[in-house]
Amino acid sequence: MSEKGARAVLNENYGVETPAPVASRPTDSAAARLQRMSARRQAALDDQKRSFLRMVSHELRTPLNAIIGFSEILSSELYGPLGQPQYQEYAKLVHESGHRLLRLVNQILEIARLEGHVVDLTLAPEALAPALDQAAEPVRAELAARGARLEVIGVGPELEVRADPRGLRTIIGNLLQNAMAHCPSGAPVIVRAERDGDMIELSIEDCGDGVDPLDIPRLLRPFEQGESTLSRAAEGAGLGLPIVQLLCDAMGGTLRIVSAKGEGLKAVVRLPAV
């Protein structure tokens, strides 16, 4: 007798209603459980990274800001003369070194956030011209001191990109710093921008010595530069271009480096247009 028939007999003869078998629930697979555990563990690691970076950022920046601030007061002799001209010179050196170290700390923290995927980017329409003006402000004085100049071509008010505001200015600032470091005295740093379909192409080019095309992939690795450690003339830890590439990737864009020996270096950034 079938199971259905047996239930009918029991119900008719003895008034016993036999419940129908309950469909078995699909069991949670081991793969799904491992995936959830991995996601929770990754979220906990990301929280730890954020906490660590916040702590390091505060503990390094706070004393550096004090060094920069007080050395500026000393070098400007705000509260009276220091007595010996050497003291003012030393205070200026401390001030410049503090700024250089703060820039390095900011770059290391930035690349740690980007590589650890713990940086939050807010993508929104951003006009390219004001972003370029703001990012270029810190380098204009240094360019003038070197006898170099900034030459801007095609950056009009109609060009807008979809990007994180801070990330866009970091991209432009790092590329300008890199170009300025390799720009010979009296030569221009050339900035060009144009729309190409649904992308905006921004290029920043110096007139320096350039690098061998085979060296370009190495330039995109952290702490690498175009020259050897013993012979390089430019300052910096080689973090500018890797940060730019990570930011471009995170904002749906690309970075391309074009260079050859004796022909300067051109960094081409492509970001989604608005």
Higher pLDDT, 11 or 254: 254
- 216/200 Cα distance (integer angstroms): 23
- Number of domains forming the structure of the chain: 2
Residue 28 has pLDDT above 50, yes or no: yes
pTM > 0.75? no
| Residue 104 in domain | yes
pLDDT of 65 reads: 92
pLDDT value, residue 6: 53
pLDDT, tens digit (0-9, with 9 covering 90-100), for 46-64:
677 667 777 877 788 889 9
DSSP string, 94-151: HHHHHHHHHHHHHHHHHHHHHHTT------EEEEHHHHHHHHHHHHHHHHHHTT-EEE
Helix axes 85-115, 30-75, angle to 10 degrees: 170
d(CA 164, CA 120): 9
Same domain, 165 and 201: yes
- Angle formed by the axes of helices 240-250 and 85-115, nearest 10°: 40
Contacts of 108 (CB under 8 A, 6+ apart): 237, 239
Range(s) of the domain holding residue 209:
124-272
pLDDT band, residue 201 (cuts 50/70/90): very high
Split at pLDDT 50, 70, 90, the class of 39 is: confident
Q: Is residue 173 part of a domain?
A: yes
Looking at the structure, tell me whether residues 102 and 53 fall in a common domain: yes
Judged against a pLDDT cut of 80, whether residue 154 lies above it is answered with yes
Q: Find out whether 148 and 180 touch, Cβ atoms under 8 Å.
A: yes
SS3 state of residue 1: coil
Confidence (pLDDT) at 167: 94
Query: Is 265 contained in some domain?
Result: yes
- Kindly state the percentage of the chain with pLDDT values over 70: 83
Q: Is the pLDDT confidence value at 268 over 90? A: yes
CA distance 179 to 86: 33
Burial grade of 119 (CB within 10 A; 0-12, 13-18, 19 or more): buried
222 within a domain of the structure (yes/no): yes
Query: What is residue 249's predicted lDDT score, i.e. its pLDDT?
Result: 93
